[in-house]
Amino acid sequence: MRQLLRLCLLLGPAPALAQTASPVVTAADMPAPGDTLRLSTAAALLPATAPPLAQRGPNQTWNYAGLVPTAQRLDRYVPVSSAAGPLYQLTFNPPLGGDNRATVAAHQTLPGAAASLPVAVTDPYQFYNASAADFRSVGFGATVSGFSVPVTYASRAQQDVIFRFPLSYASLPDSSSSFFSLSVPGTGYFSQQRKRQNTPDAWGALTTPFGTFQTVRVVTRLDDHDSLAVASPPANQGVRLPRTRLYQWLAPGQHAPLLTITTTAVAGREVVTAVEYRDKYRRPGALATRDAATDAGLSAYPNPSATGSALALAVPAGSGPFALTATDLVGRQLFSRRFAGAPGRLVLDAALFGDFRGVALLTVTTARGTATRRVVRE
């Protein structure tokens, strides 16, 4: 016995056993009251060393250590009782429970075209419920013209089920359909229909600048249709948004996806439009917020330009591979494209902008950071 103990001391601690099965994610791994999660945004142009999104199956290795953060934010999750407004408490924290009862709330932006309502909409919340069965959105809240207004889904069956539990590589694909609407008397109406499909397609070791973790990957397909009606001036609009996919890597104990890569369907292709990962604090000076060289030589002309006409964009040669994204002033994406290198001058066909009129932001993202120009379509 003594010789066996001496041998163990000489050999040192036993090496950790390799992961042999998919991690299992449950409600305990979702956001909870008191959580403060730091998330970094990286360039939508993935590093050349990044593994392909098509890599799937058991016991994978994904190395995204080359991601460079361009911005950071804090997501704070609070008890429902901390969300200001008595109507919130009656709706999402009722004493006897109910379909809309929430376990946690967080400041988040109201989705889609709600930002286009001609009325001040501020201090938005989203309310969630975590249970042994699933993690779902049960509603929203915002201050509209000084009043706290709760917004719920049409029914429990039409709430947005974000994840079902237990969640692992062995879980079957699942789907949900949701619907909610916001009506402001005399002002306008907004609604969103969403179909969400989740498919666990891989598990394995994920490495980001935050560290290395054993994860299960879930691919989420979102099909959204927004409707907006404005009373003055009279206007009605229904928009079927481009299909979106979220590649999300989840791990026990993290309370948020460790990495989310968002793609959008453009002309039948999947284009990476956003990259976000859980991270530690980084000094503002350490963030690649601006590509100074590209910013110095980036220009668009003619500006203003007429709807239905092409727009020329000068991008300095030597910028390397880059992504070009156009959004309106409230952040809705008009189009996104990727280029292998800067030819010096790009011609943006009028079809890319469609019938858009107003101010658009053209953002060029390189490995060094971003540069943005405002353009006016008349």
- pLDDT tier, 5 (very low <50, low <70, confident <90, very high otherwise): very low
Residue ranges, comma separated, of all CATH 2.60.40.3080 domains in the chain are 290-377
Q: Across the chain, what does the average pLDDT equal?
A: 82
Show Cβ contacts of residue 195 under 8 Å, excluding neighbours closer than 6 positions.
175, 176, 177, 221, 222, 223
289 vs 357, more confident: 357
pTM of the model: 0.73
- Contact predicate 241/192, CB 8 Å: no
Nearest to 321 by CA among 50, 67, 47, 51: 47
- pLDDT tier, 46 (very low <50, low <70, confident <90, very high otherwise): confident
Show contacts of 231-238: CB within 8 Å, 24+ apart: 231/186, 231/187, 231/188, 232/118, 232/187, 237/113
241 vs 41, more confident: 41
Q: Are strands 211-230 and 188-208 parallel, antiparallel or unpaired?
A: antiparallel
Question: What is the pLDDT averaged over residues 4-10?
Answer: 39
Checking if the pLDDT of 10 tops 50, the result is: no
44 vs 281, more confident: 281
Residue 6 has a pLDDT of 40
CB-CB neighbours of 225 under 10 Å:
15
What's the 3-state SS for the chain?
CHHHHHHHHHHCCCCCCCCCCCCCECHHHCCCCCCEEEEEEECCCCCCCCCCCCCCEEEEEEECCCCCEEEEEEEEEECHHHCCCHHHHHHHCCCCCCCCCCCEEEECCCCHHHHHCCCCEEEEEEEEEECCCEEEEEEEEEEECCEEEEEEECCHHHCEEEEECCECCCCCCEEEEEEEEEEECCCEEEEEEEEEEEEEEEEEEEEECCEEEEEEEEEEEEEEEEEEEECCCCEEEEEECCCEEEEEEECCCCCCCCEEEEEEEECCEEEEEEEEEECCCCCHHHCCCCCHHHHHHCEEECCCECCCCCEEEECCCCCCCEEEEEEECCCCEEEEEEECCCCCEEEECHHHHCCCCEEEEEEEEECCEEEEEEEEEC
Checking if the pLDDT of 149 tops 90, the result is: no
Cα 314 from chain centroid (whole Å):
29
Q: Which residues pair with 271 in a beta bridge?
A: 264
**pLDDT tens, 212-238?**
999 999 999 999 988 777 665 555 666
Checking if the pLDDT of 293 tops 80, the result is: no
Checking if the pLDDT of 52 tops 70, the result is: yes
Checking if the pLDDT of 4 tops 60, the result is: no
CB-CB neighbours of 59 under 10 Å:
15
Alpha-carbon distance of 216 to 198, in angstroms, equals 12
Checking if the pLDDT of 160 tops 90, the result is: yes
- pLDDT tier, 284 (very low <50, low <70, confident <90, very high otherwise): low
Residue 164 has a pLDDT of 98
Nearest to 220 by CA among 268, 257, 267: 257
Nearest to 29 by CA among 143, 146, 134: 134
CA dihedral 225, 228, 229, 233 (to 10 degrees): -140
Question: What is the pLDDT averaged over residues 184-191?
Answer: 73
CA dihedral 79, 85, 89, 92 (to 10 degrees): -70
Question: What is the pLDDT averaged over residues 50-77?
Answer: 91
Checking if the pLDDT of 13 tops 60, the result is: no
- Contact predicate 190/114, CB 8 Å: yes
Alpha-carbon distance of 75 to 126, in angstroms, equals 12
Q: Print burial letters for 180-203: b (CB count within 10 Å at least 16), e (below 16).
A: bebebeeebbbbbbbebebbbbbb
Alpha-carbon distance of 175 to 220, in angstroms, equals 9
Task: Tell me the CATH number for domain 290-377.
Answer: 2.60.40.3080
39 vs 266, more confident: 39
- pLDDT tier, 111 (very low <50, low <70, confident <90, very high otherwise): low
- pLDDT tier, 15 (very low <50, low <70, confident <90, very high otherwise): very low
User: Any idea which of 30-39, 232-241, 305-314, 317-326 has the lowest mean pLDDT?
Assistant: 232-241
User: Any idea which of 131-145, 186-200, 295-309 has the lowest mean pLDDT?
Assistant: 295-309
